[in-house]
Amino acid sequence: MTYQKIKVEALGGTIGAEIHGVDLSRTLDNQTFSEIRRAFDENIVIFFRDQNITPEQHLAFGAKFGDFDIHPFAAGLPEHPEILPVIREADDNVRGFGNGWHSDVTFYERPPLGSILYALESPAHGGDTMFANMYQAYDALSDGLKETLDGMTAIHSAGDTYGAKSDGAGRPARNKSMNIRYGDDAEAEMEHPVIRTIPETGRKALFVNRTYTKNFKGWTREESRPLLEYLWNHAIKPEFTCRFRWRRGSIAFWDNRCTLHNAIADYNGQRREMHRVTIIGERPYMARGDNAPGVAAA
């Protein structure tokens, strides 16, 4: 199918596309929205350039995709708690929020469908974000490993990142402009299938990440580590990735269910400010059979 209302320009060989011909400060007609949604499903991360939107317009666009999440450990804007400011000041010598390959808040029962990140201020150089395609990561596994993983469950937790008792090694570094909370509630654990099915496409995606996936159900962390390390490293092979260079007015909208992303912290001495809106997703499941409806992991 061709696009009639938008232009879609591929950014990477297997993931990512820039969308042209859309002004997100305006109300979208049904066909334009439908084409944006199709481009999102097909490319799993889409980008818009030269946008000038208010917080209200940011929220209006996000609301077309679902209800909003409010991050439990990072404070949103006082007047719009659904909008998370992601800021690193020029004199902050920290690695930055979102640095390191991960999928957002997979310790939730219903991890996000995706996030819409808007650049208000970006470095003159550096500060790119990389994305990796978890459909491709799954497809490239051997048949034997697919068979092993298809029935497995993983344990996810924010304890190492936001837990009050963590040693700080996994924590996002504190900076001058983000209000990060640490607490015992971060120690809670959630079970998700290692391989999940994305309902809109019916495709399988690898669903583990270094930040929040701790071990396989029924396995110790020590036993789980070698296989998890293999999967984490496999998932970010260059052929599964694309890289986006930000400038003021750029927007990235990624499918958190079947991508990983990494905000590269290589812009010391420069300020970066983003606003993020996150859309609540479904409980992860893996469909059984070719077209059978799936059920969430217990």
Residues with a catalytic annotation lie at 102, 104, 261, 276
Alpha-carbon span 194 to 202, nearest angstrom: 16
| Structure token pair of residue 96 | 């930055």
- Residues 277 and 68: beta-carbon distance below 8 Å: yes
Non-local (6+) Cβ contacts of 230 within 8 A are none
CB 69 within 8 A of CB 279: yes
How would you list the strands of the sheet with 7-10, edge to edge? 7-10, 17-20, 45-48, 251-255, 112-121, 272-280, 83-88
d(CA 213, CA 92): 28
Q: C-alpha dihedral over 39, 43, 46, 49, to 10 degrees? A: -80
Cα–Cα distances in Å, from 244 out to 20, 62, 278? 15, 20, 19
Helices (runs of H) and strands (runs of E) counted in the chain: 6, 17
Residue 203 CB partners (closer than 8 Å, separation 6+): 135, 197, 258
